[in-house]
Amino acid sequence: MKILFTASECVPFIKTGGLADVVGALAPVLAKKGHDVRVILPMYTAIAQKWQEQMQYLLDFDVQLGWRRQYCGVQMLKKDGVIYYFLDNKYYFGRPYIYGLGGDEYERYGFFCRACLNALPLLDFSPDILHAHDWQSGMIPALLKIQYAHLPFYAHIRSIFTIHNLQYQGIFGIKDVQDVLGLGDGLWTSDKLECFGCANFMKAGLVYADAITTVSPSYAEEITTAYYGERLDGLIRARHDSLYGVLNGIDVDEYNPETDPLIYKNYTVKDMSGKAENKAKLQKDLGLKVDPDVPLIAMVGRLSNQKGLDLVDCVIGDIMNEKVQMAVLGMGDARYTNLFSWAEQQYRGRLAARFAMDHELAHKMYAGADFFLMPSLFEPCGLSQLISLRYGTIPIVRETGGLRDTVLSYNEYTQEGNGFTFLNYNAHDMLNVIRRALEYYREHTDVIKLLRTRGMKGDYSWTHSAGEYVKLYQKLTGKK
């Protein structure tokens, strides 16, 4: 099958979160299965020089965006059996940020969506499946169906839209989006593109894609409710028959404690002694007291309300009253950087916070910590808990979305489970389960060892889920 991914980020080229990990890991797995997989991405200047040097200029064309005519170059790079195309326009993507600041996101990603579709005949690539990821690609299924499907080149293309996070929808003024994409007034009704008086890129994808997927079965159910539906739950309920929850995997080669070059010392499930060294060196590097007996809880992730940081804020004093250390790595909202900056001063030598996108430190924290805390308000899938499990770091999570599908709370009667969980979005419920985990750490090392071993032995690869996507592609196209 010929499969095209369109996305706004993808490892190893550019990453702000899990979307990049998923696109970057799934594409090569599908290619390995024998499919012709290509990925179209924006050519951000932030893409490392090392990758830019390996790109090859293919062609360029002009993109008509309302009254604008914009240059679009196509650079190409082949890696792990996948062809990556980078759409180059310095005005839109030659900026010192990836998202957000310019106030013209509708034009940047409107350009991206239009250019993806226009590039295909020039690249002589007519995919069977066009798989669009998140709101930045949301207009692609809509444009395909509204403006392109009558053309023979595009007529057979089936589209899939994957929700990686329903919170980010790409909401703009209708007039602004019309000015860029030229979608006539008749299309702006609530059953088509209009959404509470606005244009909404994600809604466009949800309405017009042939199938919708999201990144865990639980999240697929949750987003049909008002609590998790981010005002699109009605539409998602209406499309329930076309909605699939496919659990994300992780790149098990990149995240492998046995071979990971970024951690202090490699270790295996048979010989976990190296984990202690990782902990000691991490404690030292972060300015924490080096002490093997104090449990270390790590948090790595975007500092946003999604990640349950309000719960941590609420009981940070109680957590730190325990014999425990915390290490936090993340970038995001000022209220959380303020919180953890304050806490670092308050609990000097016991709590460390780093506010950066630091890939290497993230690996070191996954390897060096005893527990990984992820009390998310909502979590489409979550990769961090999977990475933690793989490194023998025990997750403490809230039972929501993908966390619910991947972490099972330890059951002291049956000995089942691979972590510790709580259900309600409540700070003291979280605190109690942290205390429970710490008690096992102090008094039941056998249980801690069992959970670590079980975590490290789990299968978090893409093997199963890639198969699920292929089944869906086959169902949509009728091809084998």
Q: Which residues bind ligand ADP (CB under 6 A)?
A: 17-18, 21, 300-302, 329-331, 357-359, 362, 381-384
CB contact at 8 A, 302 and 290: no
**406 or 477, CB closer to ligand ADP?**
406
Q: Least CB distance from residue 220 to ligand ADP, whole Å?
A: 16
Q: How far is the CB of 137 from ligand ADP (least distance, A)?
A: 16
**At closest approach, how far in Å is the CB of 11 from ligand ADP?**
9
How far is it, in rounded angstroms, from Cα 5 to Cα 19? 12
Rounded to a whole number of angstroms, the minimum distance from the CB of residue 358 to ligand ADP is: 5
In the bound state with ligand ADP, the residue whose beta carbon lies nearer, of 178 and 418, is 418
The residues that bridge with 372 in the sheet, in sequence order, are 298, 395
Q: Please, are residues 7 and 23 in contact by the beta-carbon 8 Å criterion?
A: yes
Query: Token pair of 262, please?
Result: 């970024």
When the beta carbons of 236 and 383 are compared against ligand ADP, the nearer one is: 383
Tell me whether residue 128 or residue 134 sits nearer to ligand ADP (CB atom). Answer: 134
Nearest CB to ligand ADP, comparing residues 74 and 365 = 365
Cβ 366 to ligand ADP shortest distance, Å: 7
What residue number has its CB nearest to ligand ADP?
A: 18
d(CA 171, CA 150): 28
Q: What's the closest the beta carbon of residue 346 comes to ligand ADP, in angstroms?
A: 22
CB of 395 to ligand ADP, least distance (A): 11
Question: 110 vs 382, which CB is nearer to ligand ADP?
Answer: 382
Residues in the chain: 480
Judged by beta carbon, residue 249 or residue 382, the one nearer ligand ADP is 382
Q: Which residues contact 429 (CB under 8 A, 6 or more apart)?
A: 422, 423
CB nearer ligand ADP, residue 384 or residue 421: 384
Q: Is 441 exposed, middle or buried (0-12, 13-18, 19+ CB in 10 A)?
A: buried
Nearer to ligand ADP, 383 or 448 (CB): 383
Minimum gap (Å) between residue 279 Cβ and ligand ADP: 18
Q: How far is the CB of 461 from ligand ADP (least distance, A)?
A: 15
Residue 136, class by beta-carbon neighbours within 10 Å (0-12 exposed, 13-18 middle, 19+ buried)? Answer: buried
| Nearest distance, CB of residue 208 and ligand ADP, angstroms | 24
Which lies closer to ligand ADP via its Cβ, residue 381 or residue 438? 381
As measured in angstroms, the least distance from the Cβ of 254 to ligand ADP is: 9
Nearer to ligand ADP, 210 or 251 (CB): 251
